[in-house]
């Protein structure tokens, strides 16, 4: 189906969990930055996440589908989304099925590739995909490298480099779009790690730096009508180092001056890389005024507690764990998830036994947390902090003592000794930069995350699914927000006509 696009093309940059507290801090500290210079020209909305459980794999699913988690039911990575996507499809699926050329790069729950790629300009699934398949196929070279690096650095950063995947990536640099300045910057980072080993924590940021080059090439070469790019690098830094940047946020502060001085520049560093992404995207939309640039988070973060974490419990040998719980080797497999969650898929005939065993497993007299989903998927939560340093930490399985070692669990030392110094809150951010609108000092307004999907659909004159309007997402507020951005009477009239039919 070829749908006429009545609105503007959109770059939808998903800057995970970054609130205005960080945006305002950065722009005030660096007034000559592109972000500071352009911020007054952006429409600014403080967004509100509506979900009762605030995790990015939940709140992004809500934003992309225009319904909250009590309806879409997505609570874990690698759930089977077949039925969910039929009932509450994500934005990229709705847009592409309406003839809107779409590009996807790393958005959460974008794995696996769609069966029909006809209206996709490019498609790179998220970093929790179970294989490296991408569209076009050559992007799989980067994805293989990306997935291996992500798996190796869940809690502590690994210095291991996947040799074969790295050599394959290096051999295809020009065609993939990795730029020379990026390679020089990455080389400097590797050199810095030799002088200051604790700086290897910045590798999380450099995965985003490498990925952005590929995204930018696809954006420039294919110029889709709608394109997404997801990055977690600032959110990751905020979780770990908020206390170093904002020690005044805590009544009880458990870090010493050395720790603060070592890590107080990490959020600035992560934001500086976003600043470079932002600069290049602004340059692109300035040269292609048919585009607008949206910078969105599905929620935000704020300070929690500030105390040192020496160790956390990690599932390092899943084979031992499953054997201890009586599940044979050929009856399960592990799926990617975000630490401290671990995904295990068990064959149907073993689901009940595995669930029963998990319900009788406790560590230090506390039952472990887990959730059972469809198709044999179990989400296990470990990550217990600062467990007693004994030869045998107390674990009970079905009433009998068992060592952590026999369970495949290990108290790993946390290299940067960080707690979760900041955690998820409802308040997020949305910036919209329109090169055709040069007015400044736009007032900051409030917006529900449920309104973003309808706004995007309205831009492309795609019919808003009935369930969005029935659940109250299309209201006077979204009417007001969308009219703020309308640039022609024609689009305004089209929007009013559409609104009157809902």
Q: Inform me whether the pLDDT recorded for 498 exceeds 50.
A: no
Predicted confidence at residue 500, as pLDDT, reads 34
Helix/strand number for the chain, H first, E second: 20, 20
Per cent of the chain over pLDDT 70 is 88
Pick the range with the lowest mean pLDDT from 291-300, 301-310, 432-441, 473-482.
Answer: 473-482
Predicted confidence at residue 6, as pLDDT, reads 57
Predicted confidence at residue 369, as pLDDT, reads 94
How far is Cα 382 from Cα 374, in angstroms, rounded to an integer? Answer: 21
Predicted confidence at residue 153, as pLDDT, reads 54
Task: Compute CA distances 252 → 152, 240, 498, whole Å.
Answer: 33, 17, 53
- What is the 3-class SS of 230-275, one letter each residue? EECHHHHHHHHHHHHHCHHHCCCECCCHHHHHHHCCHHHHHHHHHH
Q: Taking Cα atoms as reference points, which of 393, 391, 318, 320 lies closest to residue 362?
A: 393
Predicted confidence at residue 484, as pLDDT, reads 47
Residue 289 phi/psi, 5° resolution? -65, 0
The residue behind tokens 């790993």 is 412
Q: Inform me whether the pLDDT recorded for 162 exceeds 60.
A: yes
Q: Inform me whether the pLDDT recorded for 479 exceeds 60.
A: no
Predicted confidence at residue 392, as pLDDT, reads 56
Residue 332 CA neighbour count, 13 Å, CB half: 25
How far is Cα 242 from Cα 486, in angstroms, rounded to an integer? Answer: 38
**What is residue 279's DSSP assignment?**
H
b/e map 233-267, b = 16+ CB within 10 Å = bbbbbbbbbbbbbbbebbeeeebeeebbebbeebb
Q: Name which residue leads in pLDDT, 457 or 168.
A: 457
The residue behind tokens 């911020």 is 39
201-222 confidence digits (pLDDT tens)? 898 899 999 999 999 999 999 9
C-alpha torsion angle, residues 277, 152, 113, 371 (rounded to 10): -110
Pairing of strands 291-296, 427-433: antiparallel
- What is the 3-class SS of 28-53, one letter each residue? HHCCCCHHHHHHHHCEEEEEECCCCC
Predicted confidence at residue 391, as pLDDT, reads 52
Pick the range with the lowest mean pLDDT from 110-119, 239-248, 391-400, 447-456.
Answer: 391-400
Mean local confidence (pLDDT), 474-491: 41
Q: Inform me whether the pLDDT recorded for 487 exceeds 60.
A: no
Going by pLDDT thresholds of 50, 70 and 90, the confidence category of residue 387 is confident
Predicted confidence at residue 476, as pLDDT, reads 41
Predicted confidence at residue 325, as pLDDT, reads 95
Residues in the chain, overall count? 502
Predicted confidence at residue 226, as pLDDT, reads 98
Predicted confidence at residue 1, as pLDDT, reads 38
284-320 confidence digits (pLDDT tens)? 999 999 999 999 999 999 999 999 998 889 999 999 9
Pick the range with the lowest mean pLDDT from 87-101, 106-120, 185-199, 250-264.
Answer: 185-199
Instruction: Choose from 20-29, 305-314, 443-452 the range with maximum mean pLDDT.
Output: 20-29
Q: Taking Cα atoms as reference points, which of 221, 212, 147 lies closest to residue 181?
A: 212
How far is Cα 67 from Cα 73, in angstroms, rounded to an integer? Answer: 10
How far is Cα 393 from Cα 410, in angstroms, rounded to an integer? Answer: 10
How far is Cα 429 from Cα 431, in angstroms, rounded to an integer? Answer: 7
Mean local confidence (pLDDT), 133-151: 88
Q: Inform me whether the pLDDT recorded for 67 exceeds 90.
A: yes
Going by pLDDT thresholds of 50, 70 and 90, the confidence category of residue 437 is confident
End-to-end CA distance of the chain: 22
Q: Inform me whether the pLDDT recorded for 490 exceeds 50.
A: no
The residue behind tokens 């609570």 is 75
Predicted confidence at residue 485, as pLDDT, reads 45
Q: 264: which residues sit within 8 A by CB, 6+ positions away?
A: 241, 244, 245
Q: Inform me whether the pLDDT recorded for 330 exceeds 70.
A: yes
How far is Cα 34 from Cα 252, in angstroms, rounded to an integer? Answer: 36
The residue behind tokens 């995904």 is 343
Cα 156 to chain center, whole Å? 18
Mean local confidence (pLDDT), 414-424: 89
Mean local confidence (pLDDT), 434-440: 84
């Amino acid at each position: 189906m070829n749908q006429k696009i009545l609105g503007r093309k959109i770059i939808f940059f998903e800057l995970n969990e970054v609130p205005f507290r960080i945006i305002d801090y950065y722009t005030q500290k660096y007034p000559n930055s592109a972000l500071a210079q352009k911020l007054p020209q952006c429409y600014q909305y403080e967004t509100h996440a509506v979900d009762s459980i605030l995790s990015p794999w939940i709140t992004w699913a809500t934003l992309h589908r225009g319904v909250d988690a009590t309806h879409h039911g997505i609570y874990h990575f690698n759930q089977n989304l077949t039925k969910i996507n039929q009932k509450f499809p994500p934005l990229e699926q709705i847009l592409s099925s309406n003839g809107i050329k779409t590009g996807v790069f790393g958005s959460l729950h974008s794995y696996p590739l769609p069966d029909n790629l006809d209206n996709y300009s490019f498609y790179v699934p998220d970093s929790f995909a179970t294989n490296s398949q991408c569209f076009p196929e050559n992007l799989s070279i980067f994805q293989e490298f990306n997935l291996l690096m992500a798996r190796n650095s869940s809690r502590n950063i690994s210095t291991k480099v996947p040799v074969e995947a790295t050599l394959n990536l290096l051999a295809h640099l020009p065609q993939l779009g990795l730029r020379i300045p990026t390679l020089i910057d990455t080389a400097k980072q590797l050199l810095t790690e030799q002088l200051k080993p604790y700086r290897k924590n910045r590798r999380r940021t450099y995965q985003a730096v490498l990925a952005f080059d590929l995204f930018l090439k696809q954006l420039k070469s294919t110029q889709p009508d709608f394109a997404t790019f997801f990055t977690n690098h600032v959110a990751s830094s905020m979780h770990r180092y908020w206390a170093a940047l904002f020690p005044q946020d805590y009544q009880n502060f458990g870090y010493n001056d050395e720790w603060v001085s070592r890590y107080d520049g990490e959020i600035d560093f992560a934001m500086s890389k976003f600043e470079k992404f932002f600069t290049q995207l602004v340059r692109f939309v300035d040269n292609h005024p048919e585009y607008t640039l949206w910078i969105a988070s599905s929620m935000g973060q704020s300070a929690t507690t500030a105390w040192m974490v020496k160790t956390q419990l990690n599932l390092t040998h899943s084979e031992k764990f499953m054997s201890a719980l009586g599940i044979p080797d050929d009856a399960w497999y592990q799926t990617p998830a975000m630490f401290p969650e671990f995904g295990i898929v068990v064959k149907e005939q073993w689901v009940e036994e595995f669930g029963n065993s998990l319900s009788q497993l406790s560590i230090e007299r506390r039952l472990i947390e887990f959730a059972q989903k469809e198709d044999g998927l179990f989400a296990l939560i470990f990550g217990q902090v600062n467990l007693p340093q004994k030869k045998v930490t107390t674990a009970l399985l079905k009433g009998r003592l068992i060592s952590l070692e026999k369970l495949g669990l290990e108290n790993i030392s946390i290299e940067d000794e960080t707690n979760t110094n900041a955690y998820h809150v409802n308040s997020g951010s949305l910036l919209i930069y329109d090169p055709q609108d040069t007015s400044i000092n736009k007032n900051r307004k409030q917006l529900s995350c449920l309104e973003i999907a309808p706004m995007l659909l309205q831009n492309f004159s795609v019919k808003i699914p009935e369930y969005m309007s029935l659940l109250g997402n299309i209201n006077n507020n979204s009417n007001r927000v969308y009219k703020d951005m309308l640039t022609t009477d024609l689009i305004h009239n089209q929007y009013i006509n559409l609104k009157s039919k809902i």
